[in-house]
Amino acid sequence: MSRPEDTLAADIHYDDTEARKYTTSSRIQNVQASMTRRALELLDLPGPSFILDVGCGSGLSGEILTRSGTSIRRRRKGDGSAGVDDNNDDGTADDEKDDDDGDDESEYSGVSDDDSIEEEIGNGPHVWVGMDVSPSMLDVALQRDVEGDLLLADMGQGVPFRAGSFDAAISISAVQWLCNAESSDTSPQGRLSRFFNGLYASLRRGGRAVCQFYPKNDTQRAMITQAAVRAGFGAGILEDDPGTKNMKVYLVLTVGSGASSGDITGVVSNMDGVDILDDRGARAQNGRVKNKQIKKGSKAWIAKKKEQMERKGKAIVSMVAASSRRPHNWLMSLSQRNSSYWVSGQGGLGGASYDTDEGGGIYDAWQ
């Protein structure tokens, strides 16, 4: 089955029909709620905060931010009060919806009919602003009367907010869309760079962002992580259900300085079922050894520099091919043309003068 981001752009894929289908699916509601709660755990916020929801869609994750910090009860389906009880004045629940596709993925489905679970899902309630590229998704969010403010914007073009505006940010199932370029004048690297640089600027000092995404492969995962690090973030990764088709990856980003700015071990150490794998020392040692082996001016050093220039979009000219041509061959080929080339004054070192039918000019044989 193809991934949606490989078929169409997000604003085209999530049209009116797909937006309604996405929002009314109880399976998607459960999964989105679970991932948003995990993101709140990783944010580890001290109290009510101002949060940016990137790729907010129809507001499913935003509703969890709004309810965060309120006491909720979860019961087993079939006891006459399935779903989430938000303790409304009329005793009704906000999210009671029928499961149209028949899936039951409630993590509390094993609770008996007579039992219930009281839970605090964060130090909220939080105030949030959502941005999304799909007008249809935002229209559904408006119809559902979500609490957050909504903005139509493409995160691949940056995060259009004043510097230091937000205490934290979340992004649920959205960042992987940046790894696809919908036109020839954009690139995944450029879209990722604009997003993470804008996100870094919009967060206050010490702020944290959690991006849950579905990487297609290790290359895509590394590209996303490296783009965040280049923007200045300290980064850590948490994997839920690793090695399974239900694996979920959370990129935890911190705005700050110092080697420990991306250390999330203190946050995840108290989480149930989380094993910490810290290979920072080994990677640092490998990096030192690798740097010692590359000698400046060597073939490996030149190849590394060429790769860096290619990533920056600069054209690479083979020095072997350039040096194999004699200067008079360049001049002979130029003298046979009737076109005029750029004029750069009276010439200089490394240049060769020649005459064309339209006047004199300077040609740098090394360019």
pLDDT digits (tens, 9 = 90+) for 79-94: 444 344 444 444 443 4
Closest by alpha carbon to 23, among 152, 149, 140?
A: 140
Residue 352 pLDDT: 44
268 and 256 in one domain?
yes
- At residue 136, the pLDDT reads 93
Grouping H, G, I as helix, E, B as strand and the rest as coil, residue 297 is: coil
pLDDT at 70: 56
Whether residue 80 is contained in a domain is answered as: no
Same domain, 216 and 153: yes
Q: Which residue has the higher pLDDT, 1 or 233?
A: 233
* Residue 325 banded pLDDT, cuts 50, 70, 90: low
Q: According to the model, what pLDDT value does residue 12 have?
A: 82
Give, for 253, the enclosing helix (H) or strand (E): strand 248-254
Q: Which residues contact 198 (CB under 8 A, 6 or more apart)?
A: 155, 158, 159, 160, 161
> pLDDT tier at 358 (50, 70, 90 boundaries)?
very low
pTM above 0.85, yes or no: no
Q: Is residue 331 part of a domain?
A: yes
What per-residue confidence (pLDDT) applies to 264?
A: 62
At residue 37, what are phi and psi to the nearest 5 degrees? -65, -40
Residue in this structure with the two tokens 């009919």, named with its chain if needed: 113
Total of domains in the chain: 3
- pLDDT of 99 above 50: no
pLDDT in tens, 255-292: 975 545 556 666 665 566 555 555 555 555 555 555 56
Q: Are residues 199 and 220 in the same domain?
A: yes
Are 287 and 233 in a shared domain? no
Residue 8 maps to a domain: yes
Q: Which residue has the tokens 């193809």?
A: 2
Give the tokens for residue 157: 């073009």
pLDDT at 243: 81
Render pLDDT for 53-73 as a digit per residue (tens, 0 to 9): 999 999 999 999 998 865 444
Q: Does residue 34 fall inside a structural domain?
A: yes
Q: What percentage of the chain carries pLDDT values higher than 90?
A: 38
Could you count the other beta carbons within 10 Å of the beta carbon of residue 51? 27
Residues 252 and 263 in one domain: yes
| pLDDT for position 281 | 54
How many residues in total does the chain contain? 367
User: Rounded to an integer, what distance in angstroms lies between the CA atom of residue 286 and that of residue 294?
Assistant: 13
Can you give the residue range of the structural domain that contains 328? 319-364
Which helix H or strand E contains 354, and what residues bound it?
strand 351-356
Q: Which of 260, 270, 235, 231 is nearest to 250 (CA)?
A: 235
- pLDDT tens column, 4-58: 776 777 778 888 889 899 899 999 999 999 999 999 999 989 889 999 999 999 9
Are 191 and 246 members of one domain?
Answer: yes
One domain for residues 311 and 324: no
Q: Is 118 helix (H, G, I), strand (E, B) or coil?
A: strand
Please check whether residues 259 and 288 belong to one and the same domain. no
Q: Domain of 65: which CATH number?
A: 3.40.50.150
